[in-house]
Amino acid sequence: MADPPKKAWKQSTVLSDLPEELLAEILSRFRVRTLRKLRLVCKQWYNLLSNLEIFWTLHHEKSQKNPVLVYLSQKHEKEGTGCVTSCKICGIDGNGVVTFDHSLPSLVHGRDDRREIYEIVPSFSLQCRDFIWLSSPDMFYIYNPNIPKLIDLPEVTPNIDNSNWMAGGVGFDPTRNEYIIVHLIFGLPDSSTDGCQLPIAGCEILSFCSTNVSTKNSSKKGRWRKIAQKCCPFKIDEVINQWGTFVDGVFYWTIFVRKNEENILSLGLNKEKFEIIPPPPAEGFYTVDGDLVSVVELKGHLCLVDPAAEPSAVEIWMLRKESEEKITEASWTKEYSISLPGFDIEKEWLHPLGDRDGDGGLIVYTTSRIEDEDSELPLEYVPQCSVLYYNKQNNTFGRLEEDTNLKLAALSIIRWRLCLYTDNFYVFGGS
């Protein structure tokens, strides 16, 4: 009698059996905090997840298309006193899922500790989202929530008028392979200028090479260098957006000049001189009691998001210029006039956070104001915001997800406390 045939057993496949390219594609969809734990699974995974040129690059490309919305909350000893007892920084993805929630260390400042300790410095350019940039009245900080570690940068020059006001900007210059931080120094108010509150009395720049970011033995953080132009020659009533936008080697701020229609201030890194450039030729571009104007980078151009004259609409203007060409009104082109049907928002409180992944699509958030009977003030910020996404292809705004209506209890949202962050492995000065 013949022996019965042997039963064929199906061989199981485990992740380790997959080709490295496919394994990298699967693992690149996880967040860094999870991947740091997965590196301990085996030697193969450790080597793959530690590969800067292959895996980190792949993971970074995917993360750029799904940025995290970051907000800062502060707890006060007594509401309205300005005395902060704690700060928390939180990240939420496009589905409303909390990706991190960290308490920041308490800071003690010699000049005045009865004020807000941290502010988020918005990084409008895609290259600067690898870190969360923070500031206090006399310091800048770099923060990566995946470590987590707060790196303090050299102390800034205090304002001449001894105020706690901070303004400047953060950018990345690919031609120099450097991160650039600009700090505006404010002087004493000049009563003879008819309303000029805080004149720009000086400016200093801090720059450091991007290769220092991922080098463990990099302890050089540079030092502040004052620009040759000792002060801004223009009489400015107000710097509207305190944190400027960096585009193609130039920082831009929207400003208000009472006796002049020109209201965009620029500082180029090559000349290191302040200049005022003309705004778009739009009727009612800015008025004292009118809508706020916001600037951001889109695909290498300065983009100005301006509430339009029509109801429930905004206009997007793009600055297109040659490298050495003088900027005129003709340099601006109105790219879009976008309707906002179905959104219960006040369009003047629509603020850009930046490009989503370099495709020209714009992520913005909006807040509104309502009467609060319990408040001494007639109007208060609603403790929530809606996150919208501008689709460049069909020229419309829409909500990212239903769950992205952030209801942040006991949080007053102001425009510089929100930013976008790209999940990554990079560290500054070692971990």
- Give tens-digit pLDDT for 326-342: 788 888 988 888 877 66
Can you tell me whether residue 219 is helix, strand or coil?
coil
Q: What is the pLDDT of residue 171?
A: 93
Residue 91 burial (10 A CB sphere; 0-12, 13-18, 19+): buried
- Do residues 137 and 242 make contact, with C-beta atoms less than 8 angstroms apart? no
DSSP codes of every residue in 277-317: E---S-TT---TTS---EEEEETTEEEEEEE-SSTTEEEEE
Q: How many Å from the N-terminal Cα to the C-terminal Cα in the chain? A: 71
- As a CATH number, domain 15-64 is 1.20.1280
Q: Does an H or E element contain 24, and which? A: helix 20-27
pLDDT in tens, 212-227: 554 443 445 678 999 9
In the beta sheet, which residues pair with residue 337? 315
Domain 65-421 CATH assignment equals 2.120.10.80? yes
Give the whole-angstrom CA distance, residue 426 versus residue 42: 22
Angle, CA of 251, 257 and 263, to the nearest 5°: 40
- Residue 188 banded pLDDT, cuts 50, 70, 90: confident
State the span(s) of the chain assigned CATH 1.20.1280.
Answer: 15-64
- Residue 183 banded pLDDT, cuts 50, 70, 90: very high
**In the predicted structure, residue 1 carries a pLDDT above the cut 60:** no
Is the link from the previous residue into 148 a cis peptide, with omega within 30 of 0? Answer: yes
Give the whole-angstrom CA distance, residue 234 versus residue 260: 11
Closest CA relative to residue 419, chosen from 175, 68, 139: 68
Residue 274 burial (10 A CB sphere; 0-12, 13-18, 19+): buried
- Do residues 404 and 96 make contact, with C-beta atoms less than 8 angstroms apart? yes
Give the whole-angstrom CA distance, residue 358 versus residue 253: 22
Q: What is the pLDDT of residue 336?
A: 84
Can you tell me whether residue 240 is helix, strand or coil?
coil
Which DSSP state fits 269? Answer: T
**In the predicted structure, residue 377 carries a pLDDT above the cut 50:** no
Q: Are strands 313-319 and 332-339 parallel, antiparallel or unpaired?
A: antiparallel
Return the number of other C-beta atoms located less than 10 Å from residue 303's C-beta: 23
- Do residues 108 and 75 make contact, with C-beta atoms less than 8 angstroms apart? no
Range scoring the smallest mean pLDDT among 157-171, 353-367, 370-384, 389-403: 370-384
State the span(s) of the chain assigned CATH 2.120.10.80.
Answer: 65-421
Instruction: Give the mean model confidence (pLDDT) for residues 173-179.
Output: 87
**In the predicted structure, residue 266 carries a pLDDT above the cut 70:** yes
In the beta sheet, which residues pair with residue 202? 185
Give the whole-angstrom CA distance, residue 6 versus residue 414: 72
3-class SS shares of the chain: helix, strand, coil, % to 5? 15, 35, 50
Instruction: Give the mean model confidence (pLDDT) for residues 384-405.
Output: 71
Return the number of other C-beta atoms located less than 10 Å from residue 290's C-beta: 11
Instruction: Give the mean model confidence (pLDDT) for residues 237-261.
Output: 81
Mean pLDDT of the chain: 76
pTM of the model: 0.84
Residue 118 sits at φ, ψ, to 5 deg, of: -120, 155
- Do residues 197 and 236 make contact, with C-beta atoms less than 8 angstroms apart? no
Residue 241 burial (10 A CB sphere; 0-12, 13-18, 19+): buried
Give the whole-angstrom CA distance, residue 115 versus residue 120: 15
Closest CA relative to residue 23, chosen from 40, 52, 47: 47
Q: Is the pLDDT higher at 279 or at 429?
A: 279
